[in-house]
Amino acid sequence: MPETLTKFLKNKLQLSLFLLTVIYMVGIVTTLLGHSDALMELTPYNLVFATGLILYNAEGMNRVYLRWFFLIAIAGYLIELLGIITGIIFGIYAYGEGLGIKLFDVPLIIGINWAVLVFASAAILNKLKISIWLKAAMASTLMVAYDILLEPVAIRFDFWNWEGGSIPLQNYIAWWLIAYVMLLGVLHYVKNLNNKIAIYVVAVQSIFFAILILTEKLKVF
């Protein structure tokens, strides 16, 4: 194997960026060609891919990191379960078939996605020389901004749907508060959150959502 290729494969960030770019370029082209419905059936696998990238590039990977990652994933799943049962957290909604295997009507991948977003957002803001309280507030705001782009896409492709067809303000408030509490825990207890791929994963996914919103002519609010 050529030395240049060997170095490339050993560089986590370069390899991850290459894979991220290829997969999302294929996704964007497929969307622009009008095949978004078939493409979005692969969403559960794409979320697993994003999870792999975040964990693969985590500089502070250790037992504490993994313990908190899975704690957030489990908490995220349970909060979503409570949310669809009661309707008092995010509003009244139900999951469709677009996110794969479900347990008690909640996709298993949804908890893992909470963990990915929390750890990615924490990594993006972690190096700022500000208080943990402000970091958590900024990171949770970033997560809500991400959700604003995600919501119309999620409804269009049967990830979930809202009673009455409109997204309640309550959803975004709950997202911010839940994310804020999770982020405080992660920022306090996980000592090394550095992750160079995190900002690219969040940015590329957000751009992809924006393209879907434009091509599918979706309403954000």
pLDDT digits (tens, 9 = 90+) for 139-148: 999 999 999 9
DSSP designation for 211: H
Residues 6 or more apart whose CB falls under 8 angstroms from that of 4 comprise none
Helix axes 108-125, 63-86, angle to 10 degrees: 130
pLDDT score of 34: 86
pLDDT at residue 8 is higher than 80: no
Q: What is the mean predicted confidence (pLDDT) over 186-197?
A: 93
**Rounded Cα distance, 37 and 34, in Å:** 8
**Rounded Cα distance, 202 and 147, in Å:** 11
**Rounded Cα distance, 142 and 187, in Å:** 15
CA-nearest of 112, 133, 139 to 53 is 112
> What residue ranges do the domains of the chain occupy?
3-215
pLDDT score of 7: 57
Q: Is 185 exposed, middle or buried (CB count within 10 Å of its CB: 0-12, 13-18, 19+)?
A: middle
**Rounded Cα distance, 186 and 64, in Å:** 10
Query: What rounded mean pLDDT belongs to the chain?
Result: 91
**Rounded Cα distance, 92 and 168, in Å:** 9
Q: What is the mean predicted confidence (pLDDT) over 130-137?
A: 94
